[in-house]
């Protein structure tokens, strides 16, 4: 990044029936204090025409209309491949950005270099409520937002390492995206950001939290909500990441604990009335075993960092939204996960 010259930043917004959220998001981007950016609006075959309103209001937008819904991964990959910027920002359409967001990302990049960055997420409804102060990975493949639902306290304002950067708003260089071969289209949606950043960590590309870059987001995103399809994708993609990112040696060391976790996840899906989603997720893993083995070989061939180092930054606990599980079961499940994680890490 050349001193005193503003590098081009490509902001990619993937839309799927976001309606009024999209207009507010695009307006806030164009209100940014940073000047040298392009907006690539990718529409994933929406049934509404809100993207046309945005294009009319902001003619500079590079509008791409997909013929079918390619999911989060495929849709964003279309935008990334069209981007001209030195830097890439992936931004969900149900967000509103602070005017200084790009500037703060670039400040952190200048200090820490090649990495994947996320902002501080605050609630649109209450700007003092945290939605994420960084994403964390658990040993058993669960991802969660640190600090979600808590109120802002005096915190360290410095950029620091986290488990992974949220795909709701993700900043990195275009060269890193190319090095990591973009998002994994197989995932379609959910755990896509965890997958990308975990693959990054395996080749010594860390993830960072930038607290001075601020993005506002609804407490629960608009897409998919908590549906059978979302639960299916979350569980299938969690298993996919475990099977492709850990070495086989680590996986076999994890296996006894993973089987116990599998039992509790099975009970959780049963209690939620979504057992069919769990069974479908497991079936998809078996059905795609050849692809999983191929992906495993690709990732392991490129990796430069051992699992022993990677898991040191993994959280022993997880945080599950209240709308998904009540406090009693959350504490019960967390207690088991924590003990299993601490115990299992000793053998890796």
What pLDDT does 327 receive? 72
pLDDT band at 150 (very low <50, low <70, confident <90, very high): confident
What is the C-alpha radius of gyration for the chain, rounded to an integer number of angstroms? Answer: 20
Average pLDDT (263-289) is 94
98-107: per-residue pLDDT in tens?
999 999 999 9
Tell whether the model's pLDDT for residue 125 goes beyond 60: yes
Tell whether the model's pLDDT for residue 154 goes beyond 90: no
User: How far apart are alpha carbons 166 and 153 in whole angstroms?
Assistant: 21
What pLDDT does 331 receive? 80
Tell whether the model's pLDDT for residue 89 goes beyond 60: yes
Instruction: Look at the chain and count its residues.
Output: 348
What pLDDT does 117 receive? 99
Average pLDDT (152-175) is 91
Backbone angles phi, psi at 157, to 5 degrees: -85, 5
User: How far apart are alpha carbons 224 and 324 in whole angstroms?
Assistant: 14
What pLDDT does 111 receive? 97
User: How far apart are alpha carbons 103 and 120 in whole angstroms?
Assistant: 14
What pLDDT does 5 receive? 86
Nearest CA-CA partner of 14 in 297, 232, 223? 223
Q: What is the pTM of this model?
A: 0.95
User: How far apart are alpha carbons 135 and 161 in whole angstroms?
Assistant: 10
Provide the phi-psi class of 196: left if phi over 0, else alpha when psi is between -120 and 50, else beta: alpha
Percent of the chain that is helix, strand, coil (3-state, to 5): 45, 20, 35
- Residue spans of alpha helices (H) in the chain: 20-30, 50-57, 71-82, 101-112, 174-179, 192-202, 228-245, 248-271, 275-287, 289-302, 307-310, 327-345
């Amino acid at each position: 990044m050349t001193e005193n010259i503003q590098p081009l930043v490509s902001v990619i917004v993937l839309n799927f029936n976001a309606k009024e959220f999209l207009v507010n998001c695009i307006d806030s981007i164009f209100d940014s204090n940073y000047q040298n950016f392009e907006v690539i609006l990718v529409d994933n075959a929406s049934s509404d025409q809100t993207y046309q309103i945005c294009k009319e209001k902001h003619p500079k937008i590079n509008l791409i209309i997909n013929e079918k819904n390619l999911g989060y991964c495929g849709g964003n990959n279309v935008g990334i491949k069209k981007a001209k910027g030195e830097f890439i920002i992936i931004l969900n359409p149900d967000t509103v950005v602070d005017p200084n967001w790009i500037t703060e990302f670039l400040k952190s990049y200048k200090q820490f270099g090649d990495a994947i960055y996320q902002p501080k997420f605050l609630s649109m409804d209450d700007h003092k409520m945290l939605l994420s102060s960084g994403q964390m990975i658990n040993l058993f493949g669960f991802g969660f937002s640190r600090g979600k639902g808590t109120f802002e306290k005096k915190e360290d304002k410095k950029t620091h390492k986290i488990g992974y950067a949220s795909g709701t708003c993700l900043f990195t260089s275009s060269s890193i995206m190319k090095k990591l071969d973009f998002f994994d289209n197989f995932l379609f949606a959910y755990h896509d950001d965890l997958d990308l950043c975990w693959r990054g960590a395996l080749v010594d590309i860390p993830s960072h939290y930038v607290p001075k870059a601020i993005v506002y987001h609804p407490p629960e995103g608009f897409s998919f909500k908590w549906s059978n399809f979302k639960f299916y994708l979350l569980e299938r993609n969690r298993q996919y990441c475990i099977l492709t990112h850990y070495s086989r040696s680590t996986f076999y060391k994890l296996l006894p604990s993973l089987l116990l976790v599998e039992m509790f996840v099975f009970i959780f899906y049963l209690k939620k009335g979504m057992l069919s989603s769990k069974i479908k997720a497991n079936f998809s893993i078996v059905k795609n075993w050849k692809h999983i083995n191929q992906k495993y070989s690709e990732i392991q061939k490129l990796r430069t960092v051992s699992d022993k180092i990677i898991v040191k930054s993994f959280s022993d606990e997880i945080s599950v939204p209240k709308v998904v599980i009540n406090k009693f079961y959350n504490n019960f499940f967390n207690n088991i996960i924590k003990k299993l994680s601490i115990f299992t890490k000793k053998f890796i």
